[in-house]
Amino acid sequence: MDNFVYAKDELGLSGDEIRAALLASIEGRELKNVLIIPPDFTRFHSNAGFITNVYYHALVERGCNVDILPALGTHVPVTEDEAARMFGDIPYSKFIAHNWRTDVVRLGEVPADYLSEITEGLWKDPVSVEVNRLIMDEKYDLIISPGQVVPHEVIGMANHSKNLFVGTGGSDMINKSHMVGAVYGMERMMGKDHTPVRKLFDYGMEHFLNKRPILFVLTVCTAPGGNIRTHGLFIGENRKCLEAAIELAQEKNIDFVDTGMKKCVVYLDPDEFKSTWLGNKSVYRTRMAIADGGELLVLAPGVERFGEDGQVDKLIRKYGYKGRLNTLEQFEKPENQDLRDNMGAAAHLIHGSSDGRFTITYAVKNISKEEIESVGFCAADYEETAKRYDPTKLQYGYNTLPDGEEVYFIPNPALGLWINREKF
């Protein structure tokens, strides 16, 4: 049964309103074993931590066994400190780390002819459908998949089946879905439903997971000043909850600017962003709003590496963010098998480049200037840069500095999408 709850004002739903909707979604169900698949700490502002906590305690009180499998994708496992901050008092022993290389079972494949059809002939290979083996474990009476619907560079609008096929998926699905998005073009997809990657996941749901008891619990959130506001909660077992959430997210999470930004300053919270793999959301989510010849300045005090995964980190260092055509050229060379074996990394390199249309400058503390420049970015000292563009003083949106320079400031790029109205 679908259960859609909207906030009555801009402050968002109260904790009691959210709790009531969650409890209603499991009322009357006979449950002995439940698997919850929330996003990981990189989606802290999804409010999925609170949702997972409510479900966990409500189910345990009924005598139900509850396991929690964070949808890591290729990210590093959630630490005990992160779990406590995001999910509250759930015992850390209940969290199971997904390993995308070893923990998956193959369910089948999405055929090549269908991929060619939905990508206008840009992708012609089949894609294996793999998920963590726990999702197929018959002991689970219910699988709960919480997460935030928000504009996304790979799929258009994040969550729903993406939480399963990427968050708990295997290498073929993760890598190829990212490449499908990259070759089709992220700017054709961001903020939209029914993109090629979404259709890929829809196919997987319809053909391979249609008999599993999966309950999607989707939020639409903003986080002004770091305070989570949940504007809508959409609970259901089919696609209707996703469609309702997308409609609200397009209203709440897409910001139009009247003309291209000449200088955009983005701040990356050091607790949330420790790699350019994650930090490049600053590139993805602003690229449609930055003017030709403009500058993106990324204030990244916590970024200490390029990839979340050690192997991917090596690939980023080797090939760099040096443009779509350059990456595709490197990808096609027989000697670059390492890149071909990691299509997700190749797609990431395409997404993270401006193709020379605007400059990208990373201001960091924990990576050398030489390393930053070696992967194709400009580099700046964090302390010096933060004195001029102080993230504690800049206001969201346009700011005019004392010397007259105008900048557009974004305190968290993961929560939205910015588009130049002139070109949309």
Q: pLDDT truncated to tens, each residue of the chain (424 aa)? A: 689 999 988 899 999 999 999 999 999 999 999 999 999 998 888 999 999 999 999 999 999 999 999 999 888 899 999 999 999 999 999 999 999 989 999 999 999 999 999 999 999 999 999 999 999 999 999 999 999 999 998 999 999 999 999 999 999 999 999 999 998 988 899 999 999 999 999 999 999 999 999 999 999 999 887 789 999 999 999 999 999 999 999 999 999 999 999 999 999 999 989 999 999 999 999 999 999 999 999 999 999 999 988 999 999 999 999 998 999 999 999 999 999 988 889 999 999 999 999 999 999 999 999 999 999 999 999 999 999 999 999 999 999 999 999 999 999 998 889 999 887 6
Percentage, residues of the chain above pLDDT 90:
88
Would you give the DSSP letter of residue 403? T
Please choose, from the candidates 262, 292, 290, 418, the residue with its C-alpha nearest in 3D space to the C-alpha of residue 357: 292
Closest CA to 283 of 388, 187, 384, 157: 187
Residue 379 CA to residue 365 CA, distance in Å, equals: 11
Question: In 3D, which of 52, 180, 40, 154 has the Cα closest to residue 100?
Answer: 40
Which amino acid is present at 99? N
Q: Tens digit of pLDDT for each residue in 184-227? A: 988 899 999 999 999 999 999 999 999 999 999 999 999 887 78
Distance CA(255)–CA(250), nearest Å, equals: 9
**Nearest alpha-carbon partner for 75 in 50, 100, 105:** 100
Architecture of the domain delimited by 255-423: Alpha-Beta Complex (3.90)
How do the domains of the chain map onto residue ranges? 3-252, 255-423
* pLDDT score recorded for residue 351: 92
> CA-CA distance, 324 to 348, in Å (whole number)?
10
Distances (CA, A) of 328 to 162, 208, 354: 25, 31, 15
d(CA 117, CA 287): 28
Cα-flanking dihedrals φ and ψ of residue 238, to 5°? -135, -160
Superfamily of domain 3-252: LarA, N-terminal domain (3.40.50.11440)
Burial label, 88 (beta-carbon count in 10 A; 0-12, 13-18, 19+): middle
pLDDT in tens, 93-135: 999 999 998 999 999 999 999 999 999 999 999 999 999 999 9
Q: Tell me the whole-structure pTM to 2 decimals.
A: 0.86
pLDDT at 424: 67
Angle among Cα 158, 162, 165 to the nearest 5 degrees reads 165
